[in-house]
A and B are shown apart, each in its own frame.
Chain A
Amino acid sequence: MLSENEARDLLRKAGETIEVDPTRPVHVEAKPRSTWLVLGAAASVAAISLASWAVLAQSDSGTHPSDPSVSAPTNGAPEGTVPSVFGYDRETGTAFLQSLGYQVKIEPKPDCSAPGRAIGTVPSTGTPVEPGSTVTLLVASTSEVLDCAFAPQLDAWAFVDFANGHGPAPAFASSVTLVMDDSAPVTISGAEAAEPANWGTPSALTELHEATQYVVQHSEDGKTQYFIPALGTRHGTPPDEYCGVERPAVVGKRGALTLVVDVVMEGVINCPTTVALYFTGDRIDTVVTYTEKPVAGVIDAIQVPAVTGLSLEDARDVVTAAGLTATEEHEQTCSPPDPGVVEQAPKTGFLLAPGQTVTLVTEVRNPDFDCPGVAPH
């Protein structure tokens, strides 16, 4: 068992792996006052320019599991259920839902997504609904209440909209270089780039379009949830190698606006569809696509099963049958102990190598445990 000092030392080392630029200008604005407070060396708000990229860890990940509790991504939610509205905005989302026969109600919701983007539905994705039912489209709106320090992702969404046929072509340079994974670069004119058909197949546009439609079903304890993608953006120079693909020589060490469309699930590591956009001024001159691919490395990774709520004995059996090792912990409680496993670590869905450990936590009531008026948790 680690001592407290050992834990401190380990966490100190973990902290040292994180690069922080001490000279990066920081802008902190206290809202709702309009006063600008500027710190550090910069005298104006600097665009967020992230110096670090992180490359996917290769050593302990696996392919998308075939375990029944998590499905491989499908193109959309099941028929007869509320679809994903990822990739749509207020207008296109409304038209999409109406085309499926639903009545649509719009509800603005304070959110840090780009204003006007569709951020969800009520009922949520995957909920069975009858034709003609009303589906509420939640649309991002700005708010004085939220502290949205995140830069708007307008450029990123504009490109995704173009890929999905929802929006016009972005501004392209007079010639545009296209790279797919480690294939040879292809150059087309800016006018040709404005027409999706000229990008060929596969392309950044077809890959983004496919990723936009992913829906992953996750079942646990009799409940099923549907996970839809998220759009992430990164700024700065992409790494020398990303998911097994080297950064093309044609871009050198230029910084890019990189889009990542990924269905995010805790414990599941993958190489999602990633597109790096390079600009000259405000015009795209190079597009580098890293297609989605299974993660290299351990191909027999095991997904941690769901055992919370089972008896300790059953939980141990399930973990062992999955090829993992069960260990037990006891949590002191100030209430009558809950029968069975109250917590597990790692959580369901996390990928482990064969033989690695899943901790099963049960409650015990120790009369000597100090419970001086502390509410049970």
Chain B
Amino acid sequence: MDGDFSAYVAARRPRLVRTAVLLGCPESDAEDLVQTALARCLRAWKRVAKADNRDAYVNKVLVNVLHDTRARRWNGELPTERLPESPSAGTDLADGLVVRRALAALTHEHREVLVLRYFADLSEKQTADALGVPPGTVKSRTARALAALSAHDDIAELAGERRP
């Protein structure tokens, strides 16, 4: 079991750290957050290993740890994410930073559903399980979140540039 867990962590840790940051965790805290989530998963690894989708389980734990961390701060919020300075416009890196700024402008609910569905690649049902809401809520919330992201001026400009 230890070898299996080790292999899972080695393969998935970078993506989990990126998921944590996109969910709103500051980059400097993301490694710690993922470490905490993985420690919890290790205790339940037998169950996790048997799950239909281990990634879904681990992402659910990650979301729970993020929520717990928010609750432990003095005022319930993690420090505002500091984004790097923008590189030259038009590059993928620049586009990526635009997306991160747009994500930061969304509500937590919208941000979480977009990141879990379209970055962590969870299904609607797996996202519902991770967030503790009904699948119907994920469906409607995703639609609203996409609309909110689309309406962001910088995203609209990005999308416009890429469409024929």
Q: Is chain B found bound to chain A in the same assembly?
A: yes
How long is the Cα–Cα vector from A53 to B137 in the complex, in angstroms? 36
How long is the Cα–Cα vector from A299 to B33 in the complex, in angstroms? 35
Q: Judging by beta carbons under 8 Å apart, are A264 and B13 in contact?
A: no
CB distance from A44 to the nearest CB of B (A): 15
Interface of chain B, main secondary structure: helix
Closest A-B pairs by Cβ, 10 of them: A54-B82, A374-B136, A13-B96, A17-B96, A14-B99, A20-B14, A30-B42, A11-B119, A149-B36, A15-B18
How long is the Cα–Cα vector from A370 to B138 in the complex, in angstroms? 13
Q: Judging by beta carbons under 8 Å apart, are B151 and A327 in contact?
A: yes
A to B contact number (C-beta, < 8 Å): 217
**Which partner residue on chain B sits nearest A353 by CB separation?**
B153
Chain B contact patch, size range: 35 or more
Residues of A within 8 A of B78 (CB): 264
Residues of A within 8 A of B32 (CB): 48, 149-151
Q: Judging by beta carbons under 8 Å apart, are B137 and A31 in contact?
A: no
Identify which of residues 71-106 in chain B touch chain A, using a CB-to-CB cut-off of 8 Å.
72-75, 77-86, 92-93, 95-97, 99-101, 103, 105-106
Identify which of residues 27-74 in chain A touch chain B, using a CB-to-CB cut-off of 8 Å.
27-31, 37, 39-40, 48, 50, 52-60
Asked whether B130 is an interface residue with its Cβ less than 8 Å from the other chain, the reply is no
Residues of B within 8 A of A55 (CB): 82-85
Q: Judging by beta carbons under 8 Å apart, are A26 and B72 in contact?
A: no
Q: Judging by beta carbons under 8 Å apart, are A40 and B84 in contact?
A: no
Asked whether B6 is an interface residue with its Cβ less than 8 Å from the other chain, the reply is yes
Q: Judging by beta carbons under 8 Å apart, are A269 and B96 in contact?
A: no
**Which partner residue on chain B sits nearest A20 by CB separation?**
B14
| Chain A to chain B contacts (Cβ below 8 Å), 8 pairs | A2-B155, A11-B118, A14-B22, A30-B42, A57-B85, A59-B86, A150-B32, A331-B140
Asked whether A249 is an interface residue with its Cβ less than 8 Å from the other chain, the reply is no
Q: Judging by beta carbons under 8 Å apart, are B74 and A120 in contact?
A: yes
Residues of A within 8 A of B153 (CB): 356-357
Q: A17-B93, A55-B84 are in contact. Are A7 and B149 (CB under 8 A)?
A: yes
**Which partner residue on chain B sits nearest A24 by CB separation?**
B31
Q: Determine which residue in B26, B38, B81, B133 has the highest number of CB atoms from chain A within 10 A of its CB, and name it.
A: B38
Cβ-defined partner of A2 (8 Å) among B21, B29, B30, B159: B159
**Which partner residue on chain A sits nearest B35 by CB separation?**
A149
Q: Judging by beta carbons under 8 Å apart, are A40 and B99 in contact?
A: no
Asked whether B52 is an interface residue with its Cβ less than 8 Å from the other chain, the reply is no
Q: Judging by beta carbons under 8 Å apart, are A264 and B17 in contact?
A: no
Asked whether B115 is an interface residue with its Cβ less than 8 Å from the other chain, the reply is yes
CB distance from B133 to the nearest CB of A (A): 6
Contact with B along A204-237 (1 / 0, CB 8 A): 0000000000000000000001011110101100
Q: Judging by beta carbons under 8 Å apart, are A264 and B27 in contact?
A: no
Residues of A within 8 A of B51 (CB): none
How long is the Cα–Cα vector from A31 to B42 in the complex, in angstroms? 9
How long is the Cα–Cα vector from A356 to B122 in the complex, in angstroms? 31
How long is the Cα–Cα vector from A55 to B84 in the complex, in angstroms? 5
Q: Judging by beta carbons under 8 Å apart, are A7 and B118 in contact?
A: yes
Q: Judging by beta carbons under 8 Å apart, are A345 and B106 in contact?
A: yes
How long is the Cα–Cα vector from A302 to B101 in the complex, in angstroms? 16
Contact with A along B105-131 (1 / 0, CB 8 A): 111011000110111000000000000
Asked whether B54 is an interface residue with its Cβ less than 8 Å from the other chain, the reply is no
Q: Judging by beta carbons under 8 Å apart, are A28 and B9 in contact?
A: yes
Identify which of residues 117-175 in chain A touch chain B, using a CB-to-CB cut-off of 8 Å.
119-120, 147-151
How long is the Cα–Cα vector from A27 to B2 in the complex, in angstroms? 13
How long is the Cα–Cα vector from A19 to B17 in the complex, in angstroms? 9
How long is the Cα–Cα vector from A334 to B118 in the complex, in angstroms? 26
Identify which of residues 63-87 in chain A touch chain B, using a CB-to-CB cut-off of 8 Å.
86
Q: Judging by beta carbons under 8 Å apart, are B79 and A260 in contact?
A: yes
Residues of B within 8 A of A227 (CB): 74-75
CB distance from A310 to the nearest CB of B (A): 17
Asked whether A96 is an interface residue with its Cβ less than 8 Å from the other chain, the reply is no
Q: A2-B149, A27-B35 are in contact. Are A371 and B42 (CB under 8 A)?
A: no
